[in-house]
Structure 1
Amino acid sequence: MNLPSIVIALILLIIVWLYLDLTFGRKKHISLFQKRETPILYGNFDIFPHGKELFADYFHELKMARSHIHILFYIVRDDQFSQQFFEILKAKAKEGIEVRLLVDRIGSHKVKKPAINDLRAAGVEFAFSNRIRLPFLFYSSQVRNHRKISIIDGKIGYLGGFNVGKEYIDEDPKLSPWRDYHLKITGESIPFLQQEFFIDWNEYSSENVAVEAYTPKQPKGKIAHQFVPTEAGFLEKKYLPFLQSAKKSIVIGTPYFIPSNKLINELITAAKRGIMITIVVPYITDHMLVQEASYRYLRSMLKAGAQVFQYRNGFYHAKSIIIDDQLCDIGTANFDKRSLFLNKEINCYFYDAAFVDRFKEVIHKDILDSKPLKLEDLNKPNLFRSLKEGVAGALSFFL
């Protein structure tokens, strides 16, 4: 067999392996996932759209911890800001406070062995979530733990889009100011966040912690809400009835607009029946090809009569959906195929008109800081962009 034939055979073998790995890995993932969501609960919430304000509050609450700190992030960088975060955790552990830190294996790949050893030496319990595993190496490399959950003393929770790194506090010149939404939570749903943390912790650490000791009953708050963790395609099933229920309006904020066929078709159907649809996306991008992957879907939405706004005051990384001014979704999931079908995510759904009105002021500010995207802008001839769109379309499931 000559060299070209060997190369072709190897390429075909790799393609077949990738297909089988992805197909059977996904089937196993679906079979293992158990649907979990809270009933309607009541709590109190603060919204942080700016990283500096969020982390000033977050670090203060970490320093005030008296019992335990449990943290899950997708990304923790190896920079000066991350070191500040580590120093707080080490100081609390040395005080005798129980500190657990769980970070995604690939998202936090910059957290190296020396930093981990320092954390453990100080008493911080550390683990990587979603490590690459046999037998489905490719599939497991794609399923990321994109949740960002913190619980302090079983009384205060944080959840949202911010991670730990300098870009999130506006110290990356290209992506500053960074716009995101993060929630600070108190109330009766905090035990559920503890439970979700320990589901991931027990899977990937060497421990098997009984969560009951960390979930004392908390007093009710004022705002009706529901937490829904998703993975393995459940998010698409959650979104569809919400879109179908819309009677007046749908507002979507997302850094990556790469919906599934079912969701884009539902949005087009909603637009055609007179629902006002508004989509807010970034003008600049933080990842290669994600913008080009969104263009085909944004064209479809513009043709159907939707409004699309590109955020111009920095980088827009926020994730939200508002339906009819009655339902609001804020969480970790992007409106893209990776969040829909691959990543572990967790969102908070609000069923409180007063809170929705409060949040509308936040997203209205983002729309004022944006410029409309027109169909003619996307249809201008551009060979390089068209080539990138073709590549992005082929890879859109993994972007």
Structure 2
Amino acid sequence: MIAIWVIVIVLLLIILDEQLGRKRKRASPKKEYPMRQSDMTLFTNGKHLFADYFQSIEQATHHIHILFYIVKTDEISQQFFSLLQQKAKEGIEVRLLVDWVGSFGLPRKTIRSLKKSGVRFAYSQKPTFPYFFYQLNRRNHRKITVIDGTIGYIGGFNIGKEYIGQDADFGDWRDYHLKVSGEGVADLQAQFLDDWKATTRETVQNEERYFPPLPNGAIAHRFIATNGDGLEEDFSRLIRQAQREIMIGSPYFIPGKNVMDALLDALKRQVAVTILVPLKADHLFVKEAAFPYFYRLLKAGAHIHRFYQGFYHAKTIIVDDNICNIGTANFDKRSFFLNGEMNCFIYDRAFTQQMKHVIRYELSRSERLTLDWWKKRSVWERGKESLSTLLSQWL
């Protein structure tokens, strides 16, 4: 009986902490960067991405700015750390910012070694009292790299062996990451420096040296940074623009009411809606939390597929033939209402067609869900679904 009361009191304290924190601490407003023209390379395979990524780091001559949500401590992570240390010893400015929750397992020995070599390291979103649980639940999920102010990377990959397909539990890891050159790199740089200052309170001297002149590229796009506010409206607006087709890829599908209403409205307008999610789950309850949404969408005529040849971690929305979004945000309430995210809205027909070919390839390695499958779920699955629905705001 005492144990039950302890659990109840702890839960009440967490809820109170969350509510008070929400009232006292307002999230940073959405930052919508200007329309830009850049050149972009799409990576869907971790081995290809990191071969290019590490080469770009090796060639850095002035500075390396990196923000990741997750950095592990396995072999590829050690290669990553060693490379940053080498560049710092060469006199290159290296700043590494990682999320406190996402990269919680980093050993202190590793951090000390990085700092000793000259790498400037900091934890983003490190929770403090008061409002510890409120802050714990808000994470910096952006993955941004800027090298010499001329090359940028953004997307869904983190640093760890699973992202290059070396984790037997996940197998082939599918994700989308962009390499950017041209005008848009300045916006990635600006966002990194904003996050760095917010974390370290460091005033970066002669900031203009991080913003060299940049050429126009071929692809029109806009970066949008959110901090738990504004992304739901952006996604809803994008969906409501659709006239023929919507394709959504996400590892987690917990959209909430407004985005769900936009999807159902699109189906009523005879817009074809295709949703791609993983068959496997990498977190408790997230798969089951999608089931109530799947049922309503299947009834309305949506096509829902689950990727079975590995793990699908990509984040994308494609609308008709000339608009797509690639970034760090999942199609869930956490990305909409809690996390710091960075998305790239791309307005280019050729790039959108490339993305459609990628999605069709993923669909060829996926199973299609049906209403009959939904109705035949086990009692255990239905129970997990009910619990997942209650927890969906925090998954």
TM-score range, shorter chain: over 0.9
- Structure-1 residue corresponding to 2:198: 203
- Say which SS state the counterpart of residue 331 (structure 2) adopts: coil
1:91-170 mapped onto 2 (5 Å cutoff): 91-170=86-165
Amino acid of the structure 2 residue aligned with 1:212:
E
- Say which SS state the counterpart of residue 46 (structure 1) adopts: strand
CA distance in 1, matches of 2:27, 2:250: 28
CA distance in 2, matches of 1:110, 1:222: 41
Which of 72, 76, 83 aligns to 1:77? It is 72
CA distance in 1, matches of 2:11, 2:314: 35
- Structure-2 residue corresponding to 1:223: 219
Amino acid of the structure 2 residue aligned with 1:217:
P
Q: Say if 2:303 is the partner of 1:307.
A: yes
Identify if the C-alpha distance between structure 1 residues 202 and 300 changes in structure 2 by more than 3 Å, giving closer, same or farther.
Answer: same
How far 1:37 sits from its partner (Å)?
1.2
Which of 239, 261, 266 aligns to 2:262? It is 266
State whether residues 29 and 227 of structure 2, in contact with CA within 8 Å, keep that contact through their aligned partners in structure 1: no
Amino acid of the structure 2 residue aligned with 1:240:
S
Instruction: Output one character per residue of 1:187-219: Cα deviation in whole Å (capped at 9) or x when no partner.
Output: 111111111001111121252225433112311
- Say which SS state the counterpart of residue 267 (structure 1) adopts: helix
User: TM-score under structure 2 normalisation?
Assistant: 0.97
- Structure-2 residue corresponding to 1:254: 250
- Structure-1 residue corresponding to 2:208: 212
Instruction: Output one character per residue of 1:31-59: Cα deviation in whole Å (capped at 9) or x when no partner.
Output: 34123111211000000000000000000
How far 1:12 sits from its partner (Å)?
4.6
1:272-291 mapped onto 2 (5 Å cutoff): 272-291=268-287
- Say which SS state the counterpart of residue 69 (structure 1) adopts: strand
Q: Say if 2:295 is the partner of 1:318.
A: no
CA distance in 1, matches of 2:268, 2:90: 60
Amino acid of the structure 2 residue aligned with 1:57:
D
Identify if the C-alpha distance between structure 1 residues 12 and 286 changes in structure 2 by more than 3 Å, giving closer, same or farther.
Answer: closer
Amino acid of the structure 1 residue aligned with 2:209:
A
Instruction: Output one character per residue of 1:109-151: Cα deviation in whole Å (capped at 9) or x when no partner.
Output: 1111100011111111100000012221111111111110000
Instruction: Output one character per residue of 1:138-195: Cα deviation in whole Å (capped at 9) or x when no partner.
Output: 1111111111000000000000000000001111011111000000000111111111
Amino acid of the structure 1 residue aligned with 2:246:
I
Count of residues paired in the alignment: 394
- Structure-1 residue corresponding to 2:37: 42
- Say which SS state the counterpart of residue 363 (structure 1) adopts: helix
CA RMSD of aligned residues (A): 1.4
- Say which SS state the counterpart of residue 184 (structure 1) adopts: strand
- Structure-2 residue corresponding to 1:336: 332
- Say which SS state the counterpart of residue 31 (structure 2) adopts: coil
Amino acid of the structure 1 residue aligned with 2:343:
N
CA distance in 2, matches of 1:17, 1:166: 37
User: TM-score under structure 1 normalisation?
Assistant: 0.96
Q: Say if 2:371 is the partner of 1:375.
A: yes
CA distance in 2, matches of 1:165, 1:14: 34
CA distance in 1, matches of 2:372, 2:106: 44
Identify if the C-alpha distance between structure 1 residues 381 and 373 changes in structure 2 by more than 3 Å, giving closer, same or farther.
Answer: closer
Identity among equivalent pairs (%): 46
State whether residues 180 and 317 of structure 1, in contact with CA within 8 Å, keep that contact through their aligned partners in structure 2: yes
Which of 338, 358, 364 aligns to 2:360? It is 364
- Structure-2 residue corresponding to 1:354: 350
Amino acid of the structure 2 residue aligned with 1:350:
I
Amino acid of the structure 2 residue aligned with 1:208:
T
How far 1:27 sits from its partner (Å)?
3.6
| More deviation, 67-76/357-366 | 357-366
- Structure-1 residue corresponding to 2:380: 384
Instruction: Output one character per residue of 1:286-314: Cα deviation in whole Å (capped at 9) or x when no partner.
Output: 11111011111111110110000111221
CA distance in 1, matches of 2:80, 2:355: 28
5+ unaligned residues in a row in structure 2: which ranges?
A: none
State whether residues 29 and 226 of structure 2, in contact with CA within 8 Å, keep that contact through their aligned partners in structure 1: no
How far 1:233 sits from its partner (Å)?
2.4
CA distance in 2, matches of 1:389, 1:325: 35
Q: Say if 2:179 is the partner of 1:184.
A: yes
- Structure-2 residue corresponding to 1:57: 52
How far 1:11 sits from its partner (Å)?
4.5
Identify if the C-alpha distance between structure 1 residues 127 and 236 changes in structure 2 by more than 3 Å, giving closer, same or farther.
Answer: same
- Say which SS state the counterpart of residue 222 (structure 2) adopts: strand
Instruction: Output one character per residue of 1:229-278: Cα deviation in whole Å (capped at 9) or x when no partner.
Output: 11222111211111111111111000000111111122112112211100
CA distance in 1, matches of 2:4, 2:91: 59
Amino acid of the structure 1 residue aligned with 2:348:
D
- Structure-1 residue corresponding to 2:239: 243
How far 1:372 sits from its partner (Å)?
0.7
Which of 13, 17, 36 aligns to 1:17? It is 13
CA distance in 1, matches of 2:224, 2:378: 41
